[in-house]
Amino acid sequence: MFPENARMVFCIGAQKAGTTWLYHALRQSPHVHFSRNKELHYFDVLSGKAQQVLDLRIGAARNLSQRLAAETGPRNRATLGHLQEMTSLLSIYTGDAGDHGPYLDYLLEHYRNQKIVCDITPAYAILDRKVFEEMGQIGSAKFLFILRDPIDRMWSQIRMAVKVAGTPPESFQEACETRARHLINSNRLSRIERADYRRTMTELEAAIPTDRIQYLFYETLFQAETMAKLFNFLDIPRIEIEPETRSNPGLTATLPADLRTAFRRAFAPQYDFIADRFGGAVPAGWAGDIIPALSAT
């Protein structure tokens, strides 16, 4: 059961838009509770959107169990600790349909009457209104969604994917460009769900009252004014947050001009939607350096 005097808060992304920094920032507040894992990947797995996450977690548990030695003594201590943590995390998926009890049991472990209970899982941005409605029923949930310039966010996502693939530094730039060109040539770029702010916001607002939704911009996330706005939305006392410290920084790679132009064309509906929605609140520099060039072609 969710605590009566607490409020659930979901941060649903966007990916590569400062959610890890926000996680560490909010953990400094005595009024915010988190589970042991930043990204629980509960609702995306349940909705069939993240089978690979479930497969990886089950695979990790199997690998840990296979490492156990058939002997007494301290040799298995560390492995058993990791296995216990993984099986505890996997237990969130064991509820019957509509029963979020196992998820809440894990989420609320070590809860100490904080006003806010938070789950930051950027993959939730790909969910639909039906799932958002279900999420909203947990603790009258509020939602955070951080928007980042679509070109910058996509290029950061590509760099992360290439880095995770183990690409050597000397081939990193070329590998990033190759991946970007493949996305463009295959016409997949504009169909990437995590990059579709318009779809996420439309689905979210179809299920959740707008006074329970807070949109922030990555480009101004680290400013004191933005954090004051966030703490006001959460209705908790403001704390001083350390200036920007990048979390999970990517390797350096430069986005070539021709790819930037192709990205801008692919993401044009997103830029138009955000401009219409937020007007002058959109941070300066959102692809502004190439808009004149596009309008002339």
Residue 180 is part of which domain span?
A: 7-295
Residue 194: other Cβ atoms inside 10 A: 18
Mean pLDDT of 237-263: 81
Tell whether 234 is covered by a domain. Answer: yes
pLDDT for residue 53 is more than 80: yes
Q: Kindly indicate the confidence band of residue 249, based on its pLDDT and cuts at 50, 70 and 90.
A: low
Mean pLDDT of 68-78: 93
Tell whether 48 is covered by a domain. Answer: yes
pLDDT for 270-280, tens place per residue? 999 999 999 99
Q: Percent of the chain scored above 90 by pLDDT?
A: 84
Tell whether 37 is covered by a domain. Answer: yes
| Domains of the chain: total | 1
Q: Kindly indicate the confidence band of residue 245, based on its pLDDT and cuts at 50, 70 and 90.
A: low
The predicted pLDDT at position 250 comes to: 58
Tell whether 244 is covered by a domain. Answer: yes
pLDDT for residue 290 is more than 70: no
Q: What sign does the dihedral 287-160-33-206 (CA atoms) show?
A: positive
pLDDT for 126-139, tens place per residue? 999 999 999 999 99
- Tokens matching residue 273: 């939607």
Q: What's the mean pLDDT when you consider all of the chain?
A: 92
Tell whether 1 is covered by a domain. Answer: no
- Which residues does 166 contact at the CB level (< 8 Å), separation at least 6? none
Tell whether 119 is covered by a domain. Answer: yes
pLDDT for residue 62 is more than 70: yes
Tell whether 2 is covered by a domain. Answer: no
- Which residues does 262 contact at the CB level (< 8 Å), separation at least 6? 184, 189
pLDDT for 80-121, tens place per residue? 999 999 999 999 999 999 999 999 999 999 999 999 999 999
Kindly report the CATH number assigned to the domain that includes residue 280: 3.40.50.300
Strand partners, 187: none
pLDDT for 172-216, tens place per residue? 999 999 999 999 999 888 889 999 999 999 999 999 999 999 999
In the Cβ-directed half-sphere of 181, how many Cα atoms lie within 13 Å? 9
Tell whether 200 is covered by a domain. Answer: yes
